[in-house]
Structure 1
């Protein structure tokens, strides 16, 4: 589980809520019609911008990707594919048949190699998988960025509605203050949804997508080297460009083996 995402989300919401409740009660910031305008309006605009399957897929990815740390570390993948390269040099490509891996993309690559497909077909299949993964993350990110853009605008629309209602009751000066507070609550709701939920989740999905695509490119590069019969040490040296300088130091034993 990606604990930092959960901690950041809970901490952000908690800080804002505690600040609001410092000198007021919960009922002061609760306005059901305004909340309905923001939530309903944002959802309606999102459905206009995107197809329903894309919206549902985006929320599934937000909970499965943003709140879980399922992306493999590149240095661990390099070690694993380095072991695969050594197996192939000793036993041939069929030696990969008994290798068990938790990475679904690497498992698919191994199955394609073991089935005897030509290198060109294997690379094409993996490239298509990378493209589809990238597109799924991009659509999910766009959905949440769309929510982050729409929520404040719908909140401002609710504020304008409240101001119009307030101006129609100017004959009662005592109601102006409370009516103004209620009108501004819709803007608060919109900013709250955008800045503390939608936009941070969009950024997290972007980062997770980049990490996953990078790992898939790493695996594709390694499979290409394995099928060409390249030296495992040379392959590890080539793949070291995918990791940070600190991780490269941990790969020194594999690079020198």
Structure 2
């Protein structure tokens, strides 16, 4: 679990709700079902309208990355690639056949199978780079779902505010209806701006940060596999790959 994401969510919630409570408000006053459905339903509907189904579905799946990002163990992968280099130099690329069969990471599995087939280093890089950038591009497009939500949400909040004012002014002589309409107006605005700046935009940026780290990690894997294909000294390969690892 990404502890920083969890702490960020908790800190933002405590700061806003705690500040509201310190001003004498009650937290339950901020819950308003009609305003919530207007903002969330309107935002999701607008994003669904603009997005292809595959992109929207993948974007929803990426939300899990905020709390459980994909595992990228640079140190372990560098060690394994070094070991594969030793095996390939001693026994040939066929020694990696069982390793390729057992490997779970798709990029490594694909690269190891190409090594076993005797693919030249330049062709190996071309194939894996193409797959890497196409996959990264698909994930980047999926992450833009949350950018779109962050853009629509404040506007939908204003729509909710206007609807609340319409209700308030429709029967201005009734204090109860007037209060309910004004409440919807203000809470819808809070939901629209709050969801955009505390949820949708941070989620989009978090996913992009993870994708950038993943791209660097996968570039390291490709460089390691290409080095094995060129028959480079495993210790030299290890030192080269350490440059990809953050301090």
**TM-score, normalised to structure 2's length?**
0.86
Over residues 197-244 of structure 1, what are the superposed CA-to-partner deviations in whole Å (9 max), with x where a residue is unaligned? 211211111011111111111111111111111122322333233123
- Specify the alignment match of 2:242 in structure 1: 240
| Alignment pair present for 1:4 and 2:20 | no
Q: Would the aligned equivalents of 1:137 and 1:205 in 2 still touch at CA under 8 Å?
A: no
- Specify the alignment match of 1:196 in structure 2: 198
Whole-angstrom distance in 2 between the partners of 1:55 and 1:145? 12
Q: Would the aligned equivalents of 2:154 and 2:192 in 1 still touch at CA under 8 Å?
A: yes
2:183 to 165, 181, 185: 181
Over residues 67-90 of structure 1, what are the superposed CA-to-partner deviations in whole Å (9 max), with x where a residue is unaligned? 224331323322221221121111
Give the Å deviation of 1:185: 0.6
- Specify the alignment match of 1:85 in structure 2: 85
Give the Å deviation of 1:170: 4.4
Whole-angstrom distance in 2 between the partners of 1:14 and 1:58? 27
The Cα RMSD (Å) is 2.4
- Specify the alignment match of 1:139 in structure 2: 141
Structure 1 unaligned blocks of 5 or more:
247-257
Whole-angstrom distance in 2 between the partners of 1:14 and 1:102? 40
Aligned length: 244
- Specify the alignment match of 1:76 in structure 2: 76
Over residues 9-46 of structure 1, what are the superposed CA-to-partner deviations in whole Å (9 max), with x where a residue is unaligned? 24433443344455334542232222221111101110
Q: Would the aligned equivalents of 1:140 and 1:205 in 2 still touch at CA under 8 Å?
A: no
Alignment of 1:15-54 (within 5 A): 15-22=15-22, 23-54=24-55
Q: Would the aligned equivalents of 2:120 and 2:229 in 1 still touch at CA under 8 Å?
A: no
Q: Would the aligned equivalents of 2:168 and 2:180 in 1 still touch at CA under 8 Å?
A: no
Give the Å deviation of 1:146: 0.7
Give the Å deviation of 1:178: 5.5
70-79 or 171-180: bigger deviation: 171-180
Alignment of 1:93-104 (within 5 A): 93-99=93-99, 100-104=102-106
Q: Would the aligned equivalents of 1:140 and 1:202 in 2 still touch at CA under 8 Å?
A: no
Structure 2 unaligned blocks of 5 or more:
none
- Specify the alignment match of 1:163 in structure 2: 165
